[in-house]
Amino acid sequence: MPGTNCTPSTEFSFTGFTEDPVAQVLLFLMFLLIYLVSLLGNLGMITLIRASPQLHTPMYCFLGNLAFADLCSSTVITPKMLVDFLGEKRTIAYSGGVAQVFVFDLFGMTECFLLASMAYDRFVAICQPLLYSFAMSPKCCSQLVVGSYLVGLANGVGQTLSMLSLSFCSSSTIDLFFCDISPLIALSTSDTNLSHLILRTSASLFGLSSISIILVSYLAIISTLLSIRSSSGKLKAFSTCTSHLSTVSIFYGTSLFMYLKPSSDSSREDKWAAVLYTVVTPMLNPLIYSLRNKEVKEAWRR
């Protein structure tokens, strides 16, 4: 319940990682390097896909948009975190917190459905190869991409409205390095029933549906691979899925660990789980597709 002396908050404070000045400088350099690699990797992937005709296929259309989503979600968080390492005050204006919640939830959910679209693309390519040109036509590919952004937009708007319905005291301190809707709900001094309802509905409707599409697609792919007698044929078919499986494992592994792990007395583990999800994963995705994909490596050479 809000206290009688509660002044409405105009900004939020972050606890950060450490108060040790030397450790802060080292962390600043480490996260700066990670962000630069993420920035160059995702921009390079987008540019390469647009400039290489041999990469103008549905899979790389999804991959280019995945790189864009990674770029946007990391950019709304990492630069502010870098500034906080060097500044005396780790604060963000209320409007800045709203912007972080909106952009992060928009592109986070967009990435979920882009990964689901990529799984569907692999399903059609392996299980229904004769129908591939029809099922994954440019029109269908565009519809899947636009649909992913629309779902992400619906999630971003929903979580932003959830935040706007909450009240915070002026002493609000978030035990994290960015504004996420879950700690904001826990920090609120007002009724959080509506916010919890929006969060659970979004997770159930959008999150579970995207995971279900990926699981069903790969169950069908595995069933098809088991029916192939040639071991070389199995290996060739499955090799087209390895990069996507790596990306899915990293994205969902870190996000599920971040949101489903039991809360502990120390928030250090929660913060580092959030780092993996928000900062490291956008850096790894372009590296995975650059190092493991022959078509991308050949395009880089040309």
pLDDT digits (tens, 9 = 90+) for 53-84: 888 889 889 999 999 999 999 999 999 999 98
Indicate the pairing of strand 173-174 with strand 91-93.
unpaired
pLDDT in tens, 191-222: 888 888 888 888 888 888 999 999 999 999 88
The DSSP call for residue 1 is -
Contacts of 119 (CB under 8 A, 6+ apart): 213, 214, 217, 218, 244, 248
CA pair distance 190, 147, nearest whole angstrom: 34
Q: Is 243 left (phi over 0), alpha (psi -120 to 50) or beta?
A: alpha
Model confidence at 33: pLDDT above 90: yes
DSSP assignments along 200-256, one per residue: HHHIIIIIHHHHHHHHHHHHHHHHHHHT---HHHHHHHHHTTHHHHHHHHHHHHHHH
pLDDT at residue 199 in the model? 85
Q: How confident is the model at residue 89 (pLDDT cuts 50, 70, 90)?
A: confident
Token pair recorded at residue 102: 């909106």
CA pair distance 75, 282, nearest whole angstrom: 10
- Contact between 140 and 66 under an 8 Å Cβ cutoff? The reply is no
- Contact between 158 and 140 under an 8 Å Cβ cutoff? The reply is no
Tell me the pTM: 0.89
- Residues, the chain: 302
DSSP assignments along 235-251, one per residue: HHHHHTTHHHHHHHHHH
| Residue 92: its H or E element | strand 91-93
**Structural domains of the chain ordered from first start:** 11-301 (1.20.1070.10)
pLDDT in tens, 135-191: 899 999 999 999 999 999 999 999 999 888 888 876 678 888 888 888 888 888 888
Neighbours of 293 (CB within 10 A): 21
Nearest by Cα to 14 from 179, 190, 161, 157? 179
Q: How confident is the model at residue 1 (pLDDT cuts 50, 70, 90)?
A: very low
Model confidence at 100: pLDDT above 90: yes
Token pair recorded at residue 162: 């959830």
Radius of gyration of the chain (CA): 21
Mean pLDDT of all residues belonging to the chain: 84
pLDDT at residue 284 in the model? 86
Percent of the chain with pLDDT over 90: 34
